[in-house]
């Protein structure tokens, strides 16, 4: 045979050669893996090294939220909340005062008229972008906030307005927060934290706060949706227990206070029998009451096109090997849906 | 004036849109469905008999926890087994006819009319033999496999497969309809890539496009079958060799599915992060196929495809191979130079230079991998008594003969196994690459889809080779 | 602005040949252009094959055809170009597969649109049929898969259906060739204007929405007199359909002379 033996001159036996090749391969793979990890770190680091403009905008936003909550802050609170060093913060504040965006008043920082407008514009972009992500992309809920945090510093005024038109001039973002208008007006939302409801109260979920992320993740994992009706069974300092869409939930108070609700009056309460399609067992029949407002954009349209319309008779025909997806029969056709989608379809089970 | 009109309309539309609110689309769709229901009530009569009871019973079995997956594997096994067993005889016949009878006849005619040796070699030894070889080896298995597959498709089984497998697709961040596009890929990857249009969301569609190459296609099944028969079927007593080769081909097909899941998972964890947005699959009623009609049309269809591809791809490739084996630069032919150059790396990962060169020549079409390998092996070794000369595809009417040549070329069980693996894991053919570009409109994703599988192929072959060498010694 | 009302010339093709060229369809020497639309898996490709004698791929699952296929046939001395469209559940959502079908019917303006429906699932199929009837007023309903409907004990009163929809209805079983001659004849009659269609219009219960559609429709009609589908365009504009908005901006709805 020919002489293809550069490596095998050093390592004599073929088995040895094979062994060492494997070892080297594993080392290379490990190295590559750690390099990847390092790059991930770099991305996180650069995420923290916000641009100068982004920092100013973040300060404005923070101030706006603080003022909206009826409080006020000093420099130290601000630098702590935004993870900017005190020294840097001092420079920034000075610059912003010069730009007439903020004023300092007895150790406290307040927004000027112009600063408020600016802040509202950033919030407008943020919420519009979240709306865009929810309607037009399949990106996970958990990523909306972070992506919008980036985007809010990037969109120009024209881009924002054409986005606003494209989305059909929405009034609320997907978390239920009002989107400020281009003129800087904000719709007042009357809602209270879930923890503020007494036992027996019936309310509708208006807003789910997406910060801090750990708490938001917990709420999302529970599959609670904006627009859902709930009824409080028990409420004390530590826990809130309630019913919603046929399921029973118990949430610690610190989690529950991130959910804002609007209490419903007697005549607004209806359809207590609402449950989710995913709870319909094989062979059971039901009538569709509607699709949750949590299901939006293309996904919602697709479901409606397939005939998931208010009033339609539906039946779970068979469960499939994993009970996910399941096959449902409606309008004489079998449609398979995954459970997370079936969770968003509300039904009323037929009395047997 | 015209433009004013347009702007007027757009302005009015914007205002009205704001007024009718976000529920507009819901109301509209509900309105249409209400109309449809009202009309249907008036014109349709459904008598009280239980409809679709047979369908439901069948679905209960085909999608059951216990039987769903075994039935899928069983059906695939049966189809492959029939293909492998059934293709032998017609393949041999075609080879005898095209290569043993017509080939010498053509040669005779050429010499009787005094054709110059290079023209005769180029046309008959190059173009014609490649064509004949591809037809003999490719046509019979494909003309058996696909009609059976089409029967299943017409019956309505494929959506049930997608339904059963969706859970796994969901876990890997992909879309259940990828099972359908994969099945289409078994016919032709380019068709599979186009079929991904049934997947709505762009992220999942990209995953389906990139991983479609892990479905063995028309041009690769026969390679798998032939190599499995030669190297793996031979490991057991002849009585079981058919079974053994079937099992190994199924193994490769399954491995392809495993790689598809693995790659989908990797992609949705790295480059294509995100959640699966929607999955809604209509399960059509079972419709008994028109057996003979389906078989007939599918058979004609496959035959035409194989013949057409043989003409368009195999014939020019035959010419190229003949040329590269007959033009010498320095003291070696072009083919020899290239083989020499790649051989070290090839052998290192358990293949050889001939195979690597064959895969480069076969970028336009996977069908010509095997004929190229055989022909280059013969040319490179200058085997006496086999074949008719350099760059000539020889008569291959028995697997024994093929095996003899390959073994002389230094092939072992490892080379066989790795060729099967590499045939599964390598770049898509040029048609598929072009289709991927057309569908994604992105060079980046086209490059990822083309290069990722080759890298995987190299890595897998490398690992198998080293482990084989350590274990077998 | 020059406008020629299309029925000034009975035999002139109605289809928009410039637009069709842009959509990539060659209509040289075709007397009529006929499109095949319908829900997925209702046998469109089978009907296509039966009419043209070609072998377009068929299969019992929704989504077998994802690209447009073209073919042709001659009937009563007229050359007819037939286009097999991908199946869609609706024309209201703006996903890519629907766009192929939607754009063809809307901008290509075929002489006749054949809507293939599955006779045993009429209700869900009518959802799409009603939408098509908003876009075009020259349509034929092909009530396909009649053999399957019979097998499952479903009967349809085709004449009543035709009255309700305002277009001819042809029961067929395309795979067995049943109903194909009648379909050929009906297409011909609709194309030549021998049969006049008065298509059903979608009713919406909400007064506010109806009002909005009407207002917009009036404006559109003022700009595009003679266009049969202004109401549908109005519906799409209210839904914020970007493609339609662009088409308005670029004046793509002007009737070709
Ligand atoms: N029994 C019966 N089966 C039919 C008939 N017409 C079509 N089929 C079958 O129905 C299935 C679907 O037919 P296609 O022509 O592929 O349907 P399509 O509407 O083109 O489907 P898409 O391309 O997916 O939109 C195929 O398996 C056909 O063989 C019919 O008249 N009777
Ligand atoms: Mg079709």
Neighbours of C184 (CB within 10 A): 17
Chain A interface includes C28 (CB < 8 A): no
pLDDT digit string, tens, across residues A64-118: 888 877 777 777 777 777 777 778 888 888 888 888 888 887 778 888 888 888 8
Q: Is pLDDT above 90 for C157?
A: yes
Residue B388 has a pLDDT of 47
| Residue whose structure tokens are 């599955």 | C118
Neighbours of B473 (CB within 10 A): 9
Q: How confident is residue B407, by pLDDT bands cut at 50, 70 and 90?
A: confident
Task: State how far the Cα of A116 lies from the Cα of A63, in Å rounded to an integer.
Answer: 9
Give the pLDDT mean for A157-178: 83
Q: Which two tokens stand for residue A47?
A: 């995420």
Among A74-78, A260-264, B68-72, C210-214, the least confident range: A74-78
Q: Cβ A332–C120 below 8 Å, yes or no?
A: yes
Residue A37 has a pLDDT of 72
Residue A216 has a pLDDT of 83
Q: SS3 for A289?
A: strand
pLDDT digit string, tens, across residues B229-272: 888 888 888 888 888 888 999 999 999 999 999 999 999 888 88
Q: How confident is residue C48, by pLDDT bands cut at 50, 70 and 90?
A: very high
Among A125-134, A253-262, A269-278, the least confident range: A269-278
% of chain A beyond a pLDDT of 90 = 9
Q: Cβ C216–B16 below 8 Å, yes or no?
A: yes
Residue B248 has a pLDDT of 92
pLDDT digit string, tens, across residues C80-135: 999 999 999 999 876 777 888 888 888 888 999 999 999 999 999 999 999 999 99
Q: Using CB atoms, which residue from B18, B170, B282 is nearest to A334?
A: B282
- Which of C36, C37, C45, C50 best tests ligand 1's pocket when mutated (most atoms within 8 Å of CB)? C45
Q: What's the C56 CA to ligand 1 centre distance in angstroms?
A: 11
What backbone phi and psi angles, to 5 degrees, belong to C143? -85, 85
pLDDT digit string, tens, across residues C221-253: 888 887 888 899 999 888 888 888 888 888 777
Measured from the Cα of C61, ligand 1's closest atom is 24
Q: Cβ C206–B27 below 8 Å, yes or no?
A: yes
Q: Is the CB of C87 under 6 A from ligand 1?
A: yes
Residue B387 has a pLDDT of 46
Q: How confident is residue A268, by pLDDT bands cut at 50, 70 and 90?
A: low
Q: How many Å lie between the alpha carbon of C89 and the closest alpha carbon of chain A? A: 6
pLDDT digit string, tens, across residues B319-374: 888 888 888 888 888 888 888 888 889 988 999 899 999 999 888 888 888 888 88
Give the pLDDT mean for C3-8: 40
Q: Interface pTM (ipTM) of the complex?
A: 0.89
Q: Is the CB of C252 under 6 A from ligand 1?
A: no
Q: What's the C24 CA to ligand 2 centre distance in angstroms?
A: 19
Measured from the Cα of C178, ligand 1's closest atom is 31
Q: How many Å lie between the alpha carbon of B432 and the closest alpha carbon of chain A? A: 27
Do the Cβ atoms of C147 and C177 come closer than 8 Å? no
Among all bound ligands, the one having the nearest atom to the CA of C69 is 2
Q: Which two tokens stand for residue B427?
A: 């770049």
Do the Cβ atoms of A344 and A332 come closer than 8 Å? no
Contacts within 8 Å (CB) and 24+ apart, B53-57: B54/B286, B55/B285, B55/B286, B56/A317, B56/A318
pLDDT digit string, tens, across residues B286-307: 998 988 988 998 888 888 888 8
Contacts of B348 in chain A (CB under 8 A): 4, 7, 21
Residue A157 has a pLDDT of 86
Do the Cβ atoms of A309 and B30 come closer than 8 Å? yes
Q: Is pLDDT above 80 for B53?
A: no
Q: What's the A89 CA to ligand 1 centre distance in angstroms?
A: 69
Q: Report the first-to-last Cα separation within chain C, whole angstroms.
A: 10
Greater model confidence, C174 or A142? C174
E strand or H helix at B342: helix B334-348
Task: State how far the Cα of B260 lies from the Cα of A295, in Å rounded to an integer.
Answer: 30
Chain C interface includes B331 (CB < 8 A): no
Task: State how far the Cα of B148 lies from the Cα of A346, in Å rounded to an integer.
Answer: 42
Contacts of A307 in chain C (CB under 8 A): 124, 127
Greater model confidence, B38 or A80? B38
Q: Is pLDDT above 70 for B37?
A: yes
Q: Cβ B9–C237 below 8 Å, yes or no?
A: yes
Q: Is pLDDT above 90 for B456?
A: yes
Q: How confident is residue C43, by pLDDT bands cut at 50, 70 and 90?
A: very high
pLDDT digit string, tens, across residues A15-68: 788 888 888 888 988 888 887 777 665 555 555 556 778 888 888 888 888 887
Q: How confident is residue C7, by pLDDT bands cut at 50, 70 and 90?
A: very low
Q: Cβ C157–B33 below 8 Å, yes or no?
A: no
| Residue whose structure tokens are 């068929």 | C58
Best-predicted range by mean pLDDT among B113-127, C177-191, C196-210? Answer: C177-191
Residue C191 has a pLDDT of 93
Task: State how far the Cα of A297 lies from the Cα of C205, in Å rounded to an integer.
Answer: 23
Q: Using CB atoms, which residue from C94, C121, C242 is nearest to A332?
A: C121
Greater model confidence, B441 or C10? B441
Residue B460 has a pLDDT of 94
Contacts of B468 in chain A (CB under 8 A): 18
Residue C6 has a pLDDT of 40
Q: What's the B57 CA to ligand 2 centre distance in angstroms?
A: 28
Average pLDDT score, chain A:
81
Exposure letters B100-139 (e unless 16+ CB within 10 A, then b): eeebeebbeebeeeebeeeebbbbbbbbbbbbbbbbbbbb
Q: How confident is residue C44, by pLDDT bands cut at 50, 70 and 90?
A: very high
Residue C49 has a pLDDT of 94
Task: State how far the Cα of A337 lies from the Cα of A278, in Å rounded to an integer.
Answer: 9
Average pLDDT score, chain C:
86
């Amino acid at each position: 045979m020919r002489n293809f033996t550069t490596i095998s001159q050093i390592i004599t036996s073929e088995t040895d050669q094979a062994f060492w090749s494997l070892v080297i391969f594993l080392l290379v793979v490990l190295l590559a893996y750690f390099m990847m990890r390092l790059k991930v770190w770099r991305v996180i680091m650069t995420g923290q090294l916000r641009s100068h403009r982004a920092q100013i905008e973040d300060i404005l936003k923070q101030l706006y939220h603080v003022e909206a909550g009826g409080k006020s802050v000093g420099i130290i609170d601000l630098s702590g909340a935004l993870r900017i060093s005190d020294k840097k913060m001092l420079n920034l504040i000075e610059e912003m005062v010069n730009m007439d965006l903020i004023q300092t008043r007895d150790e406290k920082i307040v927004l000027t008229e112009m600063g408020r407008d600016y802040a509202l514009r950033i919030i407008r972009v943020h919420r519009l972008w979240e709306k865009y992500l929810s309607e037009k992309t399949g990106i996970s809920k958990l990523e909306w906030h972070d992506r919008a945090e980036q985007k809010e510093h990037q969109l120009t005024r024209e881009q924002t307005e054409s986005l606003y038109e494209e989305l059909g001039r929405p009034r609320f973002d997907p978390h239920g927060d009002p989107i400020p208008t281009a003129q800087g007006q904000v719709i007042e939302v009357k809602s209270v934290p879930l923890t503020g409801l007494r036992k027996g109260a019936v309310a509708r979920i208006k807003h789910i706060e997406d910060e801090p992320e750990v708490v938001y993740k917990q709420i999302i994992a529970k599959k609670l949706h904006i627009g859902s009706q709930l009824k409080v069974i028990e409420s004390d300092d530590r826990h809130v227990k309630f019913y919603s869409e046929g399921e029973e939930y118990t949430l610690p108070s610190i989690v529950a206070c991130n959910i804002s609700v609007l209490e419903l009056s007697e005549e607004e309460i209806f359809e207590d029998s609402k449950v989710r399609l995913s709870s319909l067992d094989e062979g059971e029949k039901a009538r569709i009451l509607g699709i949750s407002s949590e299901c939006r954009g293309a996904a919602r349209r697709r479901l409606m096109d397939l005939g998931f319309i208010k009033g339609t008779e539906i039946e779970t025909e068979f469960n499939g090997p994993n009970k996910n997806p399941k096959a449902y029969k409606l309008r004489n056709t079998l449609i398979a849906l995954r459970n997370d989608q079936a969770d968003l379809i509300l039904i009323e089970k037929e009395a047997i | 004036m015209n433009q004013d009109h347009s702007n007027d309309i757009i302005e009015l539309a914007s205002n009205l849109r704001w007024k009718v609110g976000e529920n507009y689309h819901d109301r509209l769709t509900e309105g249409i469905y209400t109309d449809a229901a009202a009309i249907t009530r008036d014109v349709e009569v459904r008598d009280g008999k239980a409809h679709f009871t047979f369908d439901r019973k069948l679905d209960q079995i085909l999608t059951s926890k216990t039987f769903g997956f075994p039935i899928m594997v069983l059906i695939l096994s049966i189809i492959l087994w029939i293909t492998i067993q059934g293709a032998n005889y017609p393949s041999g016949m075609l080879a005898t006819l095209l290569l043993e009878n017509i080939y010498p006849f053509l040669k005779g005619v050429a010499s009787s009319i005094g054709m110059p040796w290079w023209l005769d070699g180029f046309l008959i030894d190059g173009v014609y033999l490649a064509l004949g070889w591809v037809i003999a080896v490719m046509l019979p298995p494909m003309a058996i496999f696909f009609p059976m597959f089409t029967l299943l498709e017409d019956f309505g089984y494929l959506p049930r497969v997608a339904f059963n497998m969706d859970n796994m697709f969901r876990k890997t961040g992909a879309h259940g309809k990828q099972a359908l596009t994969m099945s289409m890929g078994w016919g032709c990857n380019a068709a599979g890539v186009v079929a991904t249009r049934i997947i709505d969301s762009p992220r999942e569609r990209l995953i389906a496009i990139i991983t479609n190459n892990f479905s063995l296609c028309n041009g690769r099944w026969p390679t798998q079958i032939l190599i499995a028969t030669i190297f793996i079927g031979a490991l057991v007593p002849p009585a079981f060799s058919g079974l053994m080769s079937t099992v190994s081909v199924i193994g490769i097909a399954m491995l392809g599915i495993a790689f598809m899941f693995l790659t989908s998972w990797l992609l949705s964890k790295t480059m294509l992060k995100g959640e699966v947005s929607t999955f809604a699959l209509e399960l059509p009623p079972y419709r008994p196929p028109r057996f003979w009609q389906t078989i007939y049309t599918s058979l004609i269809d496959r035959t035409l495809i194989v013949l057409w591809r043989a003409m368009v791809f195999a014939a020019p490739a035959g010419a190229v191979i003949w040329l590269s084996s007959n033009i010498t630069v320095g003291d070696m032919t072009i083919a020899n130079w290239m083989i020499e150059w790649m051989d070290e790396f090839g052998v290192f990962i358990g293949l050889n230079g001939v195979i690597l060169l064959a895969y480069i020549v076969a970028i336009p079409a996977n069908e010509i991998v095997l004929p190229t390998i055989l022909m280059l092996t013969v040319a490179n070794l200058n085997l006496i008594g086999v074949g008719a000369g350099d760059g000539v595809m020889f008569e291959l009417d028995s697997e024994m003969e093929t095996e003899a040549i390959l073994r002389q070329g230094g092939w072992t069980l490892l080379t066989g196994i790795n060729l099967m693996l590499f045939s599964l894991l390598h770049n898509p053919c040029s048609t598929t690459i072009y289709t991927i570009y057309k569908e994604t409109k992105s060079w980046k994703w086209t490059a990822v889809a083309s290069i990722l599988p080759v890298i995987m192929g190299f890595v897998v072959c490398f690992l198998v080779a080293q482990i084989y060498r350590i274990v077998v010694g | 602005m020059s406008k020629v009302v299309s029925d000034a010339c009975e035999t002139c093709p109605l289809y928009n040949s410039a637009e069709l060229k842009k959509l990539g369809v060659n209509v040289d020497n075709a007397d009529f252009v006929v499109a095949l639309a319908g829900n997925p898996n209702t046998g469109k490709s089978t009907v296509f094959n039966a009419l043209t004698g070609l072998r377009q791929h068929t299969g019992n699952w929704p989504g077998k055809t994802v690209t447009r296929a073209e073919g042709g046939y001659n009937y009563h001395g007229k050359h007819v170009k037939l286009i097999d469209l991908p199946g869609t559940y609706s024309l209201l959502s703006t996903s890519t597969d629907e766009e192929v079908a939607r754009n063809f019917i809307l901008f290509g303006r075929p002489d006749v649109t054949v809507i293939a429906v599955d006779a045993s699932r009429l209700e869900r199929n009518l959802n799409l049929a009603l939408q098509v009837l908003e876009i075009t007023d020259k349509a034929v309903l092909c009530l396909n898969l009649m053999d399957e409907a019979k097998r499952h004990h479903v009967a349809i009163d085709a004449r009543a259906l035709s009255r309700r929809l305002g277009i001819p209805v042809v029961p067929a079983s395309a795979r067995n060739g049943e109903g194909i001659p009648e379909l050929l004849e009906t297409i011909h009659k609709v194309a030549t204007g021998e049969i006049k269609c008065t298509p059903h219009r979608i009713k919406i219960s909400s007064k506010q929405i109806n009002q909005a559609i009407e207002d917009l429709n009036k404006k559109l009609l003022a700009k595009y007199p003679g266009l049969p589908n202004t109401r549908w365009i109005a519906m799409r504009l209210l839904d914020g359909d970007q493609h339609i908005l662009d088409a308005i901006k670029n004046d793509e709805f002007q009737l070709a002379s």
